[in-house]
Structure 1
Amino acid sequence: MQFIKSVFSSKNTTSTTTPIIDEKENIEQSIQETLNRNMAPSYSLFFERLETSMIPSFVGLAPKSGYSSTFSLTDFQVDAVVTDSTVTSVYTQKYKNSSPNPVEARYQMPLAPGAAVSKFVVTYDDKVLSAKIKEKEAAANKYNDAVASGNQAFLVEKKSNGTFTTMIGNLPPTKEVTISITIVSEIGTHLENLHFGLHRYMFPKYSFNLNLNLQVSLSVPIQKIELDHYKADIQVDGKKATIKLSETNGVPNNIIAVIRPDSSERPAYFVEKSKDNTYALGINFYPTLEVAADEVDQCSEFIFLIDCSGSMSGSTIEKAKRCLEILMRSLTEKSKFNIWLFGSSFKSQFTESKLYNDQTLEQASVFIKSIDADLGGTELLPPIQAIISQPVDSQYPRQVFILTDGEVSQRDELVDYVAKEAGTTRIFTLGIGSGVDKLLVEGLSKACRGYFEFIDDNSMMETQVMKLMSIAMEPIIANIQVNWDGLPVVQAPKSVRPIFNHERLFLYGLLESVPENLTTKTIVITADGPTGQSIRYEIPVDFKHAQSESNAIHTLTANMIIRDLEEDEKKKKDANKDAIVKLGKKYQLISNHTSFVVVAEADKPTEETMQVVEVVDAPPVPSPQYNYNSFTHSAPTSALNYSSPTTTSAMNYYSSMPTQTIDYDLDDCALECEQEEALDCIQEKLEDMKCLSMDLNESICRQSEVLDSLELRECAPEKSVKKSASPASFFSSFTKTKSKEASPPPPVQAPAPVQVSYLSAPSPVQSAPSTQPSYSSAPGKKSSSSGDLMMDLIRSQKANGSWNTVTFKLPSKPDTLSSLSDDCWVTLCVIATFNKSFAAEKTQWQQIVAKASKWVKSQLNASNLGDKYDTFLALATSSI
């Protein structure tokens, strides 16, 4: 197995663009890669957060220190069925309850965002209790009433932190409890491979008996199946396979079964018929996008988001501007673009992305010269929200490049936000310097199907930026539309994302109203191909051969439709509750509006004192990072952008506290109050924290220092107190700035609205001394020279890829090429110059020359000289 390198754990991450890793030496990285690269971004984020304990890591019941109750897992059975598109897993867990008293227990399990719990069964005392979906409020009321009456009850809800939680009430003492959960999810993918994965943190860390029985049933022959770390019985027979694994020492390593099917470029379909005569369809598409770089002719939207905080000043911002100039010349005339700058506030060149042409390119060049590190702190969430909230053009897949050197105050909120937009936006991130937030850089790109680079040496910035641009320019299939041949299908997802190189796409449809005499229909997929031509795939679907052994595709499709409806509720505030509840009840799915609940009437009501068992130890929680941007964006009066010594005292008191987890939601507190109420609320909470053994007098600012107007400034404490980095982030969203070390932080500004046509006068740019030979201008081809020939050539390229002006002496056009236009000859000479004089910097100009070559070839084709490109380029090379 060979995989593109993308380190799953942040501890070893350097780059995702290294093409191949060694299989034997880095087998764990390969396993992590199968869970992380080119699978659904939400799954990538889920598994990474399991690794870092940001999502509670253990499945099931467990005692917490300080309680006498004990639940011990004795057996864990996994029965799973894998198809071309779905995985249906049944987890059966047996526990021994040694408590002498009745127990209300909490069962908690990590649940990937795309997975759906479709069945929940609890067995004890020879009773088999199956949960049923009810509307959330009704389910909670029924559970509470049952527990209060001394009956056994079970309630399952979906949590926002990546888990689902089950409350099990009034479990009888000293009984064995068996819990069975059925989970339906989309099959994992990596390049042409499929994979089934169980993360080691989804199991307890102590020894227990594990039995895995995996059945694989595909529509195409299976080439091979591999399983690392464990000795398993693997049997492959044509399109079917079985994997059997037994362990007695728990799960110390991830269980990853990599399945390689026979590949096919054409979409494959799967149709499923339910007992009530409805159909669900799944389409699996892994296209081959092998197109030469100079043949790629596709539309794309490029947004460049540049960190202009104070810490970027000096050579770093100048390097970033140089990179931006190279990036701009790498675009094609089928691109849209915009440039955004962020710090404590943010601004953009245009109100919306503009088509790339000579006019907008010149405007961008002027804008880039005006950029400086003058925007204060590092607040990335507001500009990202502003960018993603803009309408998406399906013909122009949106790709965002972020260059930053700092940390942000809302990393997790930001990563969660972009993860939900992976279908609309792809993010490439460049982290600059040793102080950059590496988890942020990785998280943004992994959550949105992008790649990232870290730069320790600014001299390599251009090369590493252009590595990312080369990936962004790889072939894409975009503007994908599905014609269901007149069938009343509810499609999931509702909007089809682009397919980037080396990616697989799954589409689903739910057909609940079935036409009479349904036999064969032809589904047609149309899209914009990477060479500029439309592509079309026809998929004849034979409904007579629909399989009916399971309901997995129905369940998965319904769950995806529910997710679309839930997102619509968030963004558009649409009232989709009725539709969500209807789907949830029909397919037994947990949602924002539905929960599992079961109530069992006890033979004898439980009267003994019931213990509440905290099942899972709280994992290490990252330092609190609270979002106060809503004050400056939406609150009519900003509660914490207020001149008050009370606020100042509170800020310095909190900043001086030692690092630890604070169990107060001050963000919500402030959001719900006006100015005076918010300050009183926060001060009251801070008074409650005196148990942290801090000397308040050491950290309270001088009360006499009153702040000006709406600006917050740092107050000097009466006694020097070493600040803890983590708690200080509490107020970081409106006080944190990254400025030069010798300068005090500037006043924090409220996030500004997008500024239209930010075209201020350019500031002088100091170019690095050129190491290349000097050239004089040729008569009639004069342009100013900065002393850096490579950048001069890049800056003088036209939007279509050609040159008509250079800063070196241009060789005369040979008489044999009299029919060749002057611009063609100049462009050939520039291409030859890049190849001859700047071979060591090829990564920087490769895309620029590819665009130029494409333009020259188009001119030659128009003159019936298409086969002469190599000959003419050789003449230009020998002439310079």
Structure 2
Amino acid sequence: MTVRIHELPDPPARDPESGLGALRTGKGNLPLDSVGVHATITGHVAGIDLVQGFHNPFDVPLEATYIFPLPDRAAVTALRMEAAGRVVEGTLKERGRARRDYDAAIASGRRAAIAEEDRPDVFAMRVGNIPPGERVTLELRLVQPLSRDSANEATFRFPLVVAPRYIPGAPLDDERAGPGTADDTDAVPDASRISPPVLLPGFPNPVRLTIDVDIDPAGLPLTDVASTLHVVAEENGRISLRPGERLDRDFVLRLRHAEDESASLALAPDEAGDEGTFTLTVLPSGEARPRPRDVVLVLDRSGSMRGWKMVAARRAAARIVDTLRTEDRFAVLSFDNVIDTPRGLDLDLVPGTDRNRFRAVEHLAGLEARGGTEMLAPLLEAGGLLADPSRDRVLVLVTDGQIGNEDQILARLAPRLRDVRVHTIGIDRAVNAGFLGRLAALGGGHCELVESEDRLDEAMRDLHHRIAAPIATNLSLDSELDIVPDSVAPRLGALFPGVPLVVSGRYRGRPGPVTLHGTRPDGTAWTRHASPVRTTDRAATHLWARAHLRDLEDRYTVGEDLEQRIVDTSLRFGVLCRFTAFVAVDSDVTADGRTLHRVVQPVEAPSGGVAQPPRGAARPLAARSDWTDDIDVPDFLGAGPAGAAPLAPAPVPAPPGYGAARPVSRRAAPRPTGTTFKDEIARAVERLRAVPDTPRDRRTHLLTDLLPALESIVRRMEAHSRDTAALAALRDELRTLATTPDADVEALWTRAFETLADFTSRRPFWKRGT
């Protein structure tokens, strides 16, 4: 196979005087010495082996921690540890149990490793009891779908570094969740798990990186290949990375194919039983008659966007403004620690006239990077503007996505962005693709990633198709297959001209065709039929399981009680998620009882990037007063109520020529600042705990006094679809206390204490087992 390989432009060279690189100690260098990636691309799926080599240069046993990225849509299906000629296969377990097994092995002197997921694209590897001078190799097995765009181009993206992320919120007094450099906060309670130390600029390349990619088009004519790193092509179809590259940006291959069929249905039966996985691919054609649109463009102008990213972001936003028509309405919000709007345009939707578009482009042209990435408030603002169901509603976010409070943002936005298409444009060489993909999925939108200015025009052409009027909405599946309920992933959104739609799910029984139904903008029916083709590819089931687990985890984030279902699904299909972990434990004792030397592997500074400040330096932004009602973020996020406003320095003033820079005021909450459901219940427990030996009347009074607070908590938790069964049952018992003279107050007091104490003792999944 012979194809052309195009290399995208190099980033600016590092300044040789920018740092001394003094990260050598008297005991040696860093433990991670090699990373190898071998991928086999077959059609639109890649199977990947990731090999990490750790060496102990110290004179005592070593435990090394490495915080690293993986493709956000990849399914991790295996862990293998090899050392001293011994091979240990990892086992997937519930996360708390896996941690206990790992800790027990380390305490007993046995070699062990554990792989955990903290974000869809951020993982942590720990390997302990490496004897002095020994080398341990850890191998992860992954399967990854290639993303596809409207030009029938498939993209293989493998991230190589976790970029520094902006961590908003107030520091927590609780134990740290991980070994990273950032403090855990009420907005990012696991910040210390996603913040590895960063190598000094100018430090010699500490890790040997190898990447090999074998490409099998699987019958799809391959016409072109482009790469972001220096690669060479070999005659057997393998593409290899040239030696000397650093782990400082995403590795991207783009493969252009000739157009394939418009609809296909692949069925992958399980090896045992009568179930299987189906994958439906639809490539729609044709154009739709445009409807008037409401478009809100949100642009990140925070400090991490400095340099080429800010230039590209301004260009991308201006291109979107240029596509607007007079019958469209739009708003432009730029943000850092404050929200800016174009001069002369209020914080509201305005018609897409030439004058208004000129003002918007003029505003965009003058933006410079500054401040912190306080992203929640502008997104809430945008959602508040998109309230007219008679129009197509579109939200576009342009950012590098380098934030830590992803869960907090998704929890607040999910109930407010129903029927709003959310498109994200990620601009970075080490972009936070996991968050941007999750956010886009909220509204059936698309995440477009841009790693260079040269890539921008192509990306914007693709996004133009997706922002345009859809061919069909209200999609549903009609099938002779017996589709397992609530198994289709991702959730069906809308169809756009030339934009592939790929959905998968589980089925039972006999195979059969599938028909995709939708509604055209004029109200008429749209259908596409696909006949089944059997396949023995096990990757289809792993990819479905990964997509389904991500959907369940996002629903958990917004309050659904799905933890056990997530764990069961992960273990059944052998795919890692945030609630499980792979653990490998050797049976041989390798340590001699000496204290472990613990090292957290520093990572490269992202190519062309700007380090984020660890925490915000200004008051967090807030949302419109009519959008911040009395709602708590779920307690596992550690976030306070909508009215919380931590003290901080004043916002940065707007530069001349801009609209007013405005931190929009919040509605004050009637609860103490920074409290959560768990905080409120903890106070109730303390009141009950303080009176264990008081008379019946006193306990009756305390239980009666507890009722209004408990009713309020249950009502607000139910609004977030939280599991309130135990608390609601206690509330109902307390309601009968006043009308039941012979009530067993002692038993009720004990039950109240145990129920509330059990709720407050639940540990977040990232701290279990510790």
User: Is TM more than 0.5 here?
Assistant: yes
Whole-angstrom distance in 1 between the partners of 2:642 and 2:424: 38
SS in 1 for 2:552: helix
Candidates 738, 742, 747, aligned match of 2:654 = 738
| TM-aligned CA distance change 1:169 to 1:576, over 3 Å | same
Whole-angstrom distance in 2 between the partners of 1:328 and 1:565: 38
| TM-aligned CA distance change 1:731 to 1:482, over 3 Å | farther
In 1, are the aligned partners of 2:298 and 2:379 still within 8 Å (CA)?
Answer: no
Q: Does 1:623 align with 2:613?
A: yes
Q: How does 1:645-664 map to 2 (within 5 A)?
A: none
SS in 1 for 2:548: helix
| Greater relative CO (CA pairs within 8 A, separation 6+) | 2
Cα RMSD of the aligned pairs, angstroms, is 5.7
SS in 1 for 2:514: strand
In 1, are the aligned partners of 2:476 and 2:516 still within 8 Å (CA)?
Answer: yes
| TM-aligned CA distance change 1:422 to 1:503, over 3 Å | farther
Q: Does 1:210 align with 2:210?
A: yes
Alignment correspondent of 1:222: 221
Q: Does 1:180 align with 2:139?
A: yes
Alignment correspondent of 2:513: 522
| TM-aligned CA distance change 1:326 to 1:258, over 3 Å | closer
Alignment correspondent of 1:877: none
1:270 partner amino acid: A
In 2, are the aligned partners of 1:452 and 1:468 still within 8 Å (CA)?
Answer: no
Q: Does 1:148 align with 2:107?
A: yes
Q: How does 1:374-523 map to 2 (within 5 A)?
A: 381-382=376-377, 384-385=379-380, 387-388=382-383, 398-400=393-395, 417=409, 425-427=421-423, 449=446, 472-473=467-468, 476-489=471-484, 490-511=486-507, 514-515=508-509, 518=510, 520-523=511-514
Candidates 532, 536, 557, aligned match of 2:544 = 557
* Alpha-carbon offset, residue 161 of structure 1: 8.6
- Give the alignment's TM-score, normalised by structure 2: 0.56
Alignment correspondent of 1:541: 532
Alignment correspondent of 2:76: 117
Candidates 574, 585, 590, aligned match of 2:576 = 590
Q: Deviations over 1:806-832 (max 9, x none)?
A: xxxxxxxxxxxxxxxxxxxxxxxxxxx
Whole-angstrom distance in 1 between the partners of 2:639 and 2:68: 32
Alignment correspondent of 1:231: 232
Q: Deviations over 1:495-529 (max 9, x none)?
A: 21223344322111123xx32xx2x4010012234
Alignment correspondent of 2:124: 165
| Runs (5+) with no aligned partner, structure 1 | 1-22, 33-50, 53-61, 236-241, 308-319, 332-336, 348-352, 355-359, 366-372, 432-438, 454-464, 639-667, 683-729, 754-880
| TM-aligned CA distance change 1:486 to 1:444, over 3 Å | closer
* Alpha-carbon offset, residue 181 of structure 1: 0.7
Alignment correspondent of 2:728: none
| TM-aligned CA distance change 1:749 to 1:94, over 3 Å | closer
Alignment correspondent of 1:286: 283
Q: Deviations over 1:9-67 (max 9, x none)?
A: xxxxxxxxxxxxxx99x9516x99xxxxxxxxxxxxxxxxxx99xxxxxxxxx995436
In 2, are the aligned partners of 1:63 and 1:616 still within 8 Å (CA)?
Answer: no
| TM-aligned CA distance change 1:66 to 1:262, over 3 Å | same
Whole-angstrom distance in 2 between the partners of 1:202 and 1:184: 20
Q: Does 1:68 align with 2:21?
A: no
Q: Deviations over 1:365-420 (max 9, x none)?
A: 9xxxxxxx9xxx998733522654899999975313689xxx99997758994899
SS in 2 for 1:562: helix
In 2, are the aligned partners of 1:63 and 1:613 still within 8 Å (CA)?
Answer: no
SS in 2 for 1:500: coil
Alignment correspondent of 1:16: none
Q: How does 1:573-588 map to 2 (within 5 A)?
A: 573-588=559-574
| TM-aligned CA distance change 1:427 to 1:98, over 3 Å | closer
Q: Does 1:602 align with 2:585?
A: no
Alignment correspondent of 1:694: none
SS in 2 for 1:279: strand
In 2, are the aligned partners of 1:185 and 1:556 still within 8 Å (CA)?
Answer: yes
* Alpha-carbon offset, residue 201 of structure 1: 5.2
Alignment correspondent of 1:822: none
Structure of larger gyration radius: 1
Whole-angstrom distance in 2 between the partners of 1:399 and 1:162: 26
Alignment correspondent of 1:268: 264
SS in 2 for 1:601: strand
Whole-angstrom distance in 1 between the partners of 2:461 and 2:243: 50
SS in 1 for 2:588: coil
- Identical pairs, percent: 16
* Alpha-carbon offset, residue 243 of structure 1: 2.1
Whole-angstrom distance in 2 between the partners of 1:177 and 1:476: 53
| TM-aligned CA distance change 1:750 to 1:155, over 3 Å | same
1:597 partner amino acid: V
| TM-aligned CA distance change 1:393 to 1:339, over 3 Å | closer
1:488 partner amino acid: I
Q: Deviations over 1:745-797 (max 9, x none)?
A: 999651369xxxxxxxxxxxxxxxxxxxxxxxxxxxxxxxxxxxxxxxxxxxx
Whole-angstrom distance in 1 between the partners of 2:333 and 2:243: 56
| TM-aligned CA distance change 1:562 to 1:393, over 3 Å | farther
Whole-angstrom distance in 1 between the partners of 2:263 and 2:593: 60
Whole-angstrom distance in 2 between the partners of 1:178 and 1:427: 40
Q: Does 1:127 align with 2:117?
A: no
Whole-angstrom distance in 2 between the partners of 1:611 and 1:85: 43
2:232 partner amino acid: K
Whole-angstrom distance in 2 between the partners of 1:499 and 1:68: 59
In 1, are the aligned partners of 2:38 and 2:50 still within 8 Å (CA)?
Answer: yes
Q: Does 1:302 align with 2:294?
A: yes
In 1, are the aligned partners of 2:76 and 2:140 still within 8 Å (CA)?
Answer: yes
Candidates 321, 327, 330, aligned match of 1:330 = 327
| Runs (5+) with no aligned partner, structure 2 | 15-20, 164-203, 300-316, 342-347, 356-362, 364-370, 451-459, 669-770
Whole-angstrom distance in 2 between the partners of 1:244 and 1:326: 38
In 1, are the aligned partners of 2:115 and 2:583 still within 8 Å (CA)?
Answer: yes
* Alpha-carbon offset, residue 568 of structure 1: 1.1
Alignment correspondent of 1:88: 47
User: How many equivalent pairs are there?
Assistant: 535
SS in 1 for 2:547: helix
In 2, are the aligned partners of 1:64 and 1:617 still within 8 Å (CA)?
Answer: no
Whole-angstrom distance in 2 between the partners of 1:475 and 1:195: 23
Whole-angstrom distance in 2 between the partners of 1:305 and 1:248: 41
Whole-angstrom distance in 2 between the partners of 1:602 and 1:143: 14
* Alpha-carbon offset, residue 576 of structure 1: 0.2
* Alpha-carbon offset, residue 604 of structure 1: 5.5
| TM-aligned CA distance change 1:540 to 1:609, over 3 Å | same
Whole-angstrom distance in 1 between the partners of 2:462 and 2:54: 52
2:542 partner amino acid: T
* Alpha-carbon offset, residue 168 of structure 1: 1.0
SS in 2 for 1:585: helix
SS in 2 for 1:173: coil
SS in 1 for 2:125: strand
Whole-angstrom distance in 1 between the partners of 2:144 and 2:531: 25
Whole-angstrom distance in 1 between the partners of 2:128 and 2:471: 52
Whole-angstrom distance in 2 between the partners of 1:467 and 1:117: 29
In 1, are the aligned partners of 2:160 and 2:250 still within 8 Å (CA)?
Answer: yes
SS in 1 for 2:593: coil
| TM-aligned CA distance change 1:160 to 1:494, over 3 Å | closer
* Alpha-carbon offset, residue 739 of structure 1: 7.0
In 2, are the aligned partners of 1:298 and 1:476 still within 8 Å (CA)?
Answer: no
* Alpha-carbon offset, residue 742 of structure 1: 12
Candidates 745, 751, 755, aligned match of 2:666 = 751
Whole-angstrom distance in 2 between the partners of 1:600 and 1:63: 35
